[in-house]
């Protein structure tokens, strides 16, 4: 057995999920990976991430880790979905003009799972891509454009949930939820970040932004927002740090450099290792677990498209993220544990109270 197969076997053998599906797309050279971590609360749900990976093992590892986070995300939000994630691992060189056909072939795989997995947008995919995937994968595809009968981008409701989470964090730290005059550093101004920034500004916060895309940086500079170089993020003084790019940004090195009071952002898997939650606690930095604060988009998209929620119902559910954040922070303080541990305890209690896996799948109506 070669080293790649050994790595893949080790990842899957030590993973605590239910199912990993891999499929080689011969026409493009891409790999489709679908990881279903839990169906205890409902069908496994999670976005489709589309990017190049250094290896198939890396793609599987990413899908499995993200799927586990989705389980905790939906459980913490008390929402009737399980956790899953999909990855379209692109080859180093491929033809973008073949994107629609590639997405349609992926949709066919999703449909073959017959509702065990339902998908939506993620890093590298959009509502328009969901329209394409939906041509072969419906009714198990959410986050489509309004023109295709969907609810549109999940970024605005995700940003809304992060905003309410930041308010709850500020109230915990400073005694009141007002953001006026508070300095918030947003890392990543694409997707969720670009929707979060105006919310913070409207609330009177002083907003700093770090972004690697030069086009986005140039646009932000015209608004007068202070731009922080990516290498200077960890050491920049602020009240709240909001990671809204990729994961793994909170690690041994960056935590030692942080000059913030609290952390709440949209990026998935912000902690590089489980030990990093204790490192933050030791430094007196209050961390809101990402799977608690970034669930607004996922629950809104599925709530509107599958459960028939009105906009008011969706907003009320997203606003409740702030209540969950308060509950987690209070539990962590009372029990003397990390906020990550407190949030996982809350999610695990809800999972333990659920029926057997797959006993009550969500009824999904085709549109």
Phi-psi map region of 77: left, alpha, beta (phi>0 left; psi -120 to 50 alpha): alpha
Q: Which is it for the CA torsion 133, 139, 141, 142, positive or negative?
A: positive
Q: Are 187 and 250 in contact (CB under 8 A)?
A: no
pLDDT at position 366, please?
32
Q: Of residues 85, 111, 182, 344, which has the active-site annotation?
A: 85
- Check residue 363 and report its DSSP letter: P
Where are the alpha helices (H) located in the chain, listed in sequence order? 3-13, 56-76, 99-112, 127-137, 155-174, 192-202, 214-221, 252-257, 275-282, 290-293, 296-306, 311-335, 339-352
Answer yes or no: is pLDDT of 108 > 60: yes
Q: How many CB atoms lie within 10 A of CB 147?
A: 10
Position 99 confidence tier, pLDDT thresholds 50, 70, 90: very high
**CA Rg, the chain, in Å?**
20
199-207 long-range contacts, Cβ below 8 Å, gap at least 24?
199/159, 199/160, 199/163, 200/163, 200/166, 203/163, 203/167, 203/178, 203/179, 204/178, 204/179, 204/180, 205/179, 205/180, 205/181, 206/181, 206/182
Position 197 confidence tier, pLDDT thresholds 50, 70, 90: very high
Q: Which residue has the tokens 């939820």?
A: 177
Average pLDDT over residues 8-35: 94
Compute the distance between CA of residue 165 and CA of residue 290 in angstroms, rounded to an integer: 10
**pTM across the whole model:** 0.87
**Arithmetic mean of pLDDT over the chain:** 92
SS3 for 112? helix
Phi, psi of 128 (to 5 degrees): -65, -40
pLDDT at position 149, please?
86
Position 194 confidence tier, pLDDT thresholds 50, 70, 90: very high
Percentage of the chain surpassing pLDDT 90? 82
SS3 for 60? helix
pLDDT at position 5, please?
82
Q: Are 100 and 70 in contact (CB under 8 A)?
A: no
Q: Tell me which residue of 207, 328, 314, 190 sits closest to 246, measured CA to CA.
A: 190
Q: Tell me which residue of 212, 338, 343, 186 sits closest to 265, measured CA to CA.
A: 186
Partnered with residue 50 across adjacent β-strands are 88
Position 224 confidence tier, pLDDT thresholds 50, 70, 90: confident
* CA angle in degrees (0–180, nearest 5) for 141-145-149: 70
Query: 317 catalytic, yes or no?
Result: no
pLDDT at position 247, please?
84
pLDDT at position 6, please?
84
Q: How large is the greatest C-alpha to C-alpha distance in the chain, in angstroms?
A: 59
pLDDT at position 356, please?
60
**CATH 3.40.50.10860 boundaries in the chain:** 3-71+82-148
pLDDT at position 365, please?
34
pLDDT digits (tens, 9 = 90+) for 149-185: 888 888 999 999 999 999 999 999 999 999 999 999 9
Position 324 confidence tier, pLDDT thresholds 50, 70, 90: very high
Compute the distance between CA of residue 21 and CA of residue 357 in angstroms, rounded to an integer: 18
Q: Are 102 and 96 in contact (CB under 8 A)?
A: no
pLDDT at position 347, please?
95
Mention the CATH class of domain 155-351. alpha beta
pLDDT digits (tens, 9 = 90+) for 77-90: 999 999 999 999 99
Alpha-carbon dihedral angle through residues 213, 214, 215, 218, given to the nearest 10 degrees? 130
Q: Are 222 and 245 in contact (CB under 8 A)?
A: no
CATH 2.10.109.10: does it fit domain 3-71+82-148? no
Answer yes or no: is pLDDT of 70 > 50: yes
Range picked from 119-123, 242-246, 299-303, 337-341 for highest mean pLDDT: 337-341
pLDDT digits (tens, 9 = 90+) for 250-272: 999 999 999 999 999 999 899 99
Compute the distance between CA of residue 77 and CA of residue 303 in angstroms, rounded to an integer: 12
């Amino acid at each position: 057995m070669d080293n790649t197969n050994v790595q893949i076997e080790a990842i899957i053998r030590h993973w605590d999920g239910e199912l990993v599906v891999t499929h080689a797309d011969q026409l493009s050279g891409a790999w489709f990976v679908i990881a279903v971590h839990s169906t205890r609360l409902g069908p496994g749900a999670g976005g489709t991430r589309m990017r190049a990976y250094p290896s198939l093992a890396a793609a599987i590892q990413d899908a499995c880790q993200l799927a586990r986070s989705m389980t905790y995300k939906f459980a913490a939000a008390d929402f009737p979905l399980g956790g899953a994630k999909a990855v379209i691992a692109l080859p180093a060189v491929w033809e973008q003009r073949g994107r629609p056909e590639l997405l349609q072939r992926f949709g066919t795989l999703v449909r073959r799972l017959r509702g065990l997995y339902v998908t939506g947008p993620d890093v590298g995919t959009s509502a328009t891509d969901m329209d394409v995937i939906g041509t072969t994968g419906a009714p198990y595809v959410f986050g489509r454009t309004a023109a295709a009968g969907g609810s549109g981008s999940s970024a605005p409701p995700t940003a809304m949930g992060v905003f309410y989470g930041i308010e709850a964090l500020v109230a915990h730290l400073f005694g009141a939820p007002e953001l006026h005059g508070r300095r918030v550093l947003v890392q990543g101004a694409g997707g969720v970040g670009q929707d979060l920034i105006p919310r913070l500004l409207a609330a009177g916060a002083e907003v700093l932004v770090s972004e690697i895309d030069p086009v986005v940086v140039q646009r932000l500079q015209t608004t007068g927002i202070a731009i922080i170089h990516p290498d200077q993020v960890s050491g920049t003084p602020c009240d709240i740090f909001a990671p809204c790019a990729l994961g793994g940004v909170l690690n041994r090195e960056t935590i030692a450099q942080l000059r913030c009071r609290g952390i709440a952002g949209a990026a998935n898997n912000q902690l590089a290792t489980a030990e990093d939650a204790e490192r933050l606690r030791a430094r007196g930095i209050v961390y809101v677990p990402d799977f608690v604060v970034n669930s607004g988009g996922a629950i809104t998209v599925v709530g509107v498209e599958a459960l028939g929620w009105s906009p008011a119902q969706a907003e009320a559910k997203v606003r409740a993220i702030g209540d969950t954040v308060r509950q987690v922070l209070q539990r962590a303080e009372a029990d003397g544990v990390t906020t990550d541990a407190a949030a996982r305890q809350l999610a695990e209690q809800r999972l333990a109270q659920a029926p057997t896996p797959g006993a009550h799948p969500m009824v999904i109506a085709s549109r």
